[in-house]
Structure 1
């Protein structure tokens, strides 16, 4: 089986802005603790969700201003069974958090 040349469909000639450093911003600019570097736990904190919305709004505004497409990563990369065990989340709790992360984006 051959792998696709890209992991996401791209429009010919369109440049993309990728986000990054969100963990650093939420920890050092906004003061949130990320247990095991898990962003998904912020979905249960309304103030954190507001801060994340502001972060992503700024990012998307830059992409629009410069005519870029936008690539965004979700917050659920630690919402797996291995990390969930370390953080004390049962399977249904992880599923709920994954859904919240998807809904956020």
Structure 2
């Protein structure tokens, strides 16, 4: 088995999600970006309950690139406070080798 780091990041719209995904893929910081179906997010912002439709993206990378990928997503993200969550997962060795080959 091989370790990967997954990032879960929400965007205001599909265009922003695709722009950031294409940038980090072009820079080989992630091997894959899964742009998911829009979701409804409920959250507290400055003491008020907010509701927004957002587009979540799952980014896949090697653990050694997690810090760089996080910083790059934050730099490209249009939100004042982008929520960039990550966790380490176990993947098949072939998937790990693919991710290693596509990132640097």
Higher-helix-fraction structure: 1
Task: Return the index of the structure with the highest Cα Rg.
Answer: 1
Q: Which structure carries more relative contact order (alpha carbon 8 Å, separation 6+)? A: 2
Between Structure 1 and Structure 2, which shows a larger proportion of strand residues? 2
Alignment TM-score, normalising by the size of structure 1: 0.30
